[in-house]
Structure 1
């Protein structure tokens, strides 16, 4: 894929259309480098919830999956979907990025485990109402949309009554700190309540990457407004002896404060 070239942060707004266009460009261009760096950790058919190395095989946050109709939101190369398919789930996976879906097809060829793949925006899902029993996302889609409340309404729309929705995102408190895994990343530099998006622009000043911050309370209110019941918020602790690093995630930071929040929800039956 064509490189975006150097990008730089810029304090500008980013509505839903601008966020969608920027992030599609970013993940299409970055898909190869992303998998070169993180592919071994993610695996071809494994289900890792977060950089803290929490796996669904141990956490079982989705509950029983055999025979369930499951939607993966923001699937990337879809290793989680293939892991679930191998355990008897009927899985559909979607992502905004064609580059990421190309890696998903390549991994399906390597493993022999294929799931239906769809290119789609979480705010405009191409699925009928009440089509799925479960939906989940491991750091996909939700942090990258301006209209996160609308995204949650769409997920609720395609779930059946009683359906379960579990998603992991960067822990909201991390917004206060620099995106740095070392000592610099332990000092607060901005307000937790500053909801201005993080935007990087290309050499022409066009947004190339956008990420949106929501406080813990924002997430709870958006979930409730979409009709979900919040069952739990899991904040994985850094595993003892684990030396893995992923971007801003590191043992130095993970031993002091959380890096991931996993929201476990369901629709009333």
Structure 2
């Protein structure tokens, strides 16, 4: 939302503060959340082919950027945190098909300078919810992508992860069997709202996140000349009874694929 642009500088400062902490935590392989919910499903929707030119938006420390390189893509990856890009470069060795940039996704001029009809694919893993105004990015993606190019992005599922949502686990004696159910309580789904969150326990400051309902993303992409042609709602696989809440029958994320038309 354009009214949140005044938070953009503060958001970037906070990510600069916690960038090294996040990089240390994520390492070269990222965390379970990304490994089990994001990576394989995103690859499924991207359908990378040898020689594809790919734009990686909000690349962080470059975990998925390097995976794209391994799949044969030539990658331009950017993040607005200079410290994240420094860490990404340090972790990237002997990969000549990756170029990292410090770039703010809310800056339409900087986005347009990336090229016209240049990219076969664009991807953003769990980053759009951290961007104060996604309008310039979505508008420019239509120019940046080649004909029939696609953009795949993942975000926390806005239907189930609203600001101040509550995770609930209840155990019930049902016909002599103890049944445990996970549920959530959500608030103000339809109200776009910035909020502060702890993504990794132990980070020194909260970072900003920006809640938007599904309708907002659909409208932005549809009016910019895209059609939705892929959508996934991954969740963890429950292999045994757990004594804590986890995302089994409720998807914590959703992954979209929009195609340029």
Q: Same fold (TM over 0.5)?
A: yes
Could you list the runs of 5+ residues in structure 2 that have no partner in the other structure?
Answer: 171-181, 198-204
Matches within 5 A, 1:7-156: 15-39=3-27, 41-42=29-30, 50=34, 52-56=36-40, 59-109=43-93, 112-114=94-96, 115-124=98-107, 125=111, 126-140=113-127, 142-156=128-142
Question: How far, CA to CA, are the matches of 1:91 and 1:242 in structure 2?
Answer: 40
Question: How far, CA to CA, are the matches of 2:46 and 2:119 in structure 1?
Answer: 13
Conserved 8 A contact 1:233-1:262: yes
Shift of 1:177: 6.2
SS of 1:88 mapped into structure 2: coil
Question: How far, CA to CA, are the matches of 2:191 and 2:79 in structure 1?
Answer: 28
Question: How far, CA to CA, are the matches of 1:178 and 1:242 in structure 2?
Answer: 28
Structure with more contact order per residue of length (Cα contacts < 8 Å, sep ≥ 6): 1
SS of 1:192 mapped into structure 2: coil
CA RMSD between the two structures = 3.1
Could you list the runs of 5+ residues in structure 1 that have no partner in the other structure?
Answer: 1-12, 201-206, 244-249
Choose the corresponding residue for 1:163, options 136, 149, 171. Answer: 149
C-alpha spacing 1:27/1:71, structure 2 compared with 1 (3 Å):
same
Residue 257 of structure 1: aligned partner? 250
C-alpha spacing 1:147/1:198, structure 2 compared with 1 (3 Å):
same
Question: How far, CA to CA, are the matches of 2:42 and 2:141 in structure 1?
Answer: 25
Question: How far, CA to CA, are the matches of 1:179 and 1:34 in structure 2?
Answer: 24
Question: How far, CA to CA, are the matches of 1:190 and 1:58 in structure 2?
Answer: 28
Q: Paired residues, what number?
A: 237
Give 4+ residue runs of structure 1 displaced > 6 Å after superposition: 179-182
SS of 1:211 mapped into structure 2: strand
Question: How far, CA to CA, are the matches of 2:42 and 2:136 in structure 1?
Answer: 31
Shift of 1:182: 6.9
**Partner deviation per Cα, 1:97-128 (whole Å, 9 max, x = no partner):** 0111111011014xx33511011111221312
